[in-house]
Amino acid sequence: MSSPLVGKTVFITGAARGIGEATARLAAERGARIALVGLEPERLRRLADELGPEHGWYEADVTDQAAMEKVAVDVVRDFGGIDVVVANAGVANNGTVAINPAEAIVRTIDVNLIGVVRTVKSTLPMVTARRGYYSLISSAAAFTVLPGMAAYCASKAGVEQFGNALRFELAYRHVGVGTVHPGWIDTDLVRDIKQDSSVFAETLKKLPWPLNTTTSVDECALAIVDGIERRRRRVYVPRAVGLVEKLRPITLGPIGALPIMAQARQMVPKIEREMEKLGRSFGKTSAGLNKKPPRTSAPRKRTAAAR
């Protein structure tokens, strides 16, 4: 049976690795043409080459409005339009609010939430013209919290609510909006967190099911692509994360907070000592971070015509 993605153009941010890369590969297998957007040009180029000449790559920072608008125009020029946008680019800063530089905390929110807003805004006319679909990558962290994840949880909760409101706003334009809520996925980002903090790695093992499990990146991509094909309102990875969402009034209430508070009194000082010793605010594989923020620049691209 033919996929609804055959011949469609799928615009993916954070496409160089992890969830973005796996989603790009699967969507391409199902017949979509992929516009790969990110900050790692060599990885993007290699992936585009592997996928084939009908796919293209574009270097841009999702926090740069001018660059994202330029990319959207370039993708329409190269592919004829945009049918689906997967707003996936994301980062996670290490440690607590007390020990992190303000710039690191703000950067996490800027990439994860404001980057989604800029991605949507820059592509909206094109997606509207095709009566397309937005897949906004939120997280189980939108409705669960742990010490050391304040900026990440805030940003992902923001993506969830942005998507909820956007869904209503775009309904009369026949544009679909879905939010994706992965738990722990076996990506470089999650592996970096576990490697950088032994306390955090041990804490994850003690969480209740399904929050103590790690899902493969391919399984996550499958859920996202199936959600795109069905224009789903919500996607949970794994599906059991949906149960966690239903329990949020309890887990975030006074009683549900008691076990986390008890752990936090010992966990937080240990995390802070580890992160101070580590001496950096982001994982080693976080593109464009652990150094001066990237400058505003015009996006670079490679398309079939350039080959």
Q: CA-based Rg of the chain, rounded to a whole angstrom?
A: 19
| Alpha-carbon dihedral sign for residues 264, 265, 270, 276 | positive
Catalytic site residue 152? yes
First to last CA, the chain: 32
Q: Rounded distance, CA 212 to CA 207, Å?
A: 5
CB 12 within 8 A of CB 86: yes
CB 13 within 8 A of CB 38: yes
Catalytic residue among 134, 152, 172, 236: 152
Short-list 231, 293, 300, CA closest to 40? 300
Token pair, residue 131, equals: 């009566």
Which residues are identified as catalytic? 152
